Structure 1
């Protein structure tokens, strides 16, 4: 209600809108009752709505209450409601302002016992099922094209008109109607007598014997359809020598005659469709099969003639057979030389672009070691952060779970922590091992390319006073102080010189550098 309700100038009675009254009643009902447990019989239940919600009513001998089960709750119910079943529903009472009704929003359901009719129906169903009247093995197939159809229903309702109209549209045949009352105390006796009467028809009676029977009635409540649960009806249908189609009620309704009949139709119109085929479709199918047969004969004759003409032709020559493979071979051979030249050029460019030196290897080795050290420094921090995260999760969960559950989760967390510690140790060891392998490979490559390997074979490195290597004899002057480095150490010497210099080597014309094999990247 609003804080300042409007008042009439001629009265001090507060004025409220319909929405305000409805809202106040809704809050009053929800606050006063909250969670309640209601016992009653399910009425008007037809399964969940297309939206997933279920709407029905709970009733007893003096009152009726609307009920609803929302889709999220309906999917979690262990026990589903059934028509006529007595249940105990737990939920909240509320109102629906749109229609000024109160209802219970059900959260859980438990059975409390079946209604009188449902209990009797279930007992009768178990008794007849034990006798084997509902077994699938005793049910017979319907004739494909019946000549006479017997219908057991009310002659004045819309059901018989729908059946006759549907049969006339699909495949007009002779229809015999046995009029009965489809609601009331005499329904069971009249329907069972009609089924037995159709089975007694013979040529001596002057009437054609039906090839199939349809027992039909429109939809209704359990009480309206009770006559078709009569034991006499079930036994009459079970003893019928003529196949029976049951079309009682809507698709969601069921009676005992549905279980004993040879076929069950969802509606009376559906029963008519089951009883006869579509004449136009049959005529079209025959015409289509006839056309296909003529076409198949024509095509088969033409195929045989074509095969005979093909066999009459001479086989192709060897040149014709090999012309296409020979051409493909020549084209591949012409492309092969160009491809080899292009590939060699690409390999040469790749090799020339490769620069390997001791300084480069040392720099890469240092970078690899630096990354390995950085990874080793970061891993403990990451591990501690993961441990803190897990500890924080345990602290948060401790506030909303029971001690038993907390102990269980703590034990589970400890197991996961052990696994994480083990995996972290394995990861650290694996990364350090990989970094060590890369460093070992770089050291081996450095040793391979180092000039010290040349010194080990008996050579020496001559350096000048400025420690720069002297590569030519013409760079050494008499009296020059030299530093000679051997594999096991170095020594100093003075260049004596004899005044003779070795002539420079003759110059030769430059030629293309020899081809080198591409060794690929070493990293």
Structure 2
């Protein structure tokens, strides 16, 4: 027992922080620089602090990874979920979780397969946003005045494009110099596309009518900048028609899907931009010659058609032969027809003259006079009947008027008697008749009738209504004393009344009747 206790006492004692620091130094000394291959997992973008946290995993293990803010902005390959990479950095521990992690200093693609997988995933995501939709694409102008080229100013691509444009149709070319390879390639190409679109129309720098993004051939890693997400979005947003001419015909980048037209090579892009000037001149001259010859050929064809139609038309003699024959026949029948017509009219005149003899006219006048006399007699008889009817109607109306006047007079008398009865009833029921018999109506300051003596406080102002007028007075207490402030006013107001104050005092000393009285209005 003593030996076991002594062994425990001789063992070194560590604190948690000391042990964690010792482990951290051991791991960092042993794995100060490592290259780790794995698949990025759990990446959700940079943290609000600017650092990036994710994991590297393979089929059998998982390791935490961190990229500090300053290193993240310099990474040539940006982390993406599911991307297989080679991470270069150092191992360290995180005492807060008792775990180890790799602090990444740079990232590399883990072979061409990883790049292709990343590009396929990016292509699928951008296509889902509609950036590759054919409806977004526009047609190229037939003959642009200004051509904008986004490429390296020192490479062979720009010389090939300028040489091909000079051979086909010289145009004004604006070159926006960019790096076509490296970490900043994507950002510079996107900035160049947006910069050309930002040029104002009619400004000091002419705005291009078409853009060409060009680069020569290269490996998959060399062309990776033209598959950058910013480049694809800038190409899709471009209001200027854009041609993608990156790499050779077998090379495919994501800008090819977002551009309006994809050219297999930069030289082919120059051929797409402008037509051949000599061919265009020859075409215009040929069209001009056809335009000049067309009216002549049309006139000749119309003249030939007219000759053919003229040969088909009949002669004037043939057209007039039948009408002329009909005219001769009608001319032969005309004298006989005139004679027959004159005879018929003479016969009608003879018959009419026989009906217009004086005897016939006198007979018609006598018959008309008889009919007129008969109508006058009928009208006279009808007038007499009508006058009799009018007299009967007037007599009836006069009788009805007299009856109505008598009825109205009776009704007026009945209404007057009824109204007089109501007036007598109103006078009998009115309190004014009660006042005429010697009673008085008492009102307070508000004009309301006072029905109880208890409702009046000593010294209250009241108004007494008599049959012939009203008088204001002051109410006294039960002993009959007059308040000093009001004694003069009561005496002055009641002075013309003579002995009335004594009578009212006598009446005031009578017992009060609590039952209903005629003063209840």
TM range (shorter): 0.3 to 0.5
Give the TM-score of the pair, scaled to structure 2.
Answer: 0.38
- Larger-gyration structure (1/2): 2
